[in-house]
Amino acid sequence: MKDNTKLFKALSDVNRLRILKALQSKTLCVCEIKELLNLANSTVSQHLKLLKEVGFIIEEKDGKWSNYRINPLPGDARINAVLNSLDFWISDEDMIISDKKKIKALNRTKICSS
């Protein structure tokens, strides 16, 4: 039951859902996610930590960048089931639609250098 609780906890925050939907569009670094959500680095890091612990996302280092993306091979079939059904549940939400537009305009070289 503890694993189920962690999974549902990860899905119980609107910002974590926004992160998952954003990462379904493209790989993003912390600065880009911070810019998208308009949250503090520490808050974004906590959201990413929880999503990573549960198995929804993975982190990959690339030089100075810490890139986050959807876990392509989660060890838990429930993770795939949730990720595959996110569009059904939240893709038509105004905030998700707005985020998709913002993601296209994100430029990590400008955002992360400041």
Q: Write the CA distances from 13 to 1, 20, 59, 62, 75, integer angstroms.
A: 20, 11, 20, 28, 22
Helix axes 2-11, 41-54, angle to 10 degrees: 140
Note the pLDDT tens digit of each residue in 48-66.
999 999 999 999 998 888 8
Maximum alpha-carbon separation in the chain: 44
| CATH number of 40's domain | 1.10.10.10
Note the pLDDT tens digit of each residue in 90-106.
888 899 999 999 999 88
Count of structural domains, the chain: 1
Rounded to two decimals, what is the model's pTM?
A: 0.91
Give the length of the chain: 114
| Average pLDDT for 41-50 | 95
Q: Tell me the torsion sign for CA atoms 40, 48, 13, 111.
A: positive
| DSSP state for residue 74 in the 8-state scheme | -
The whole domain housing 106 covers 2-111
Dihedral angle, C-alpha 106, 108, 111, 114, nearest 10 °:
-170
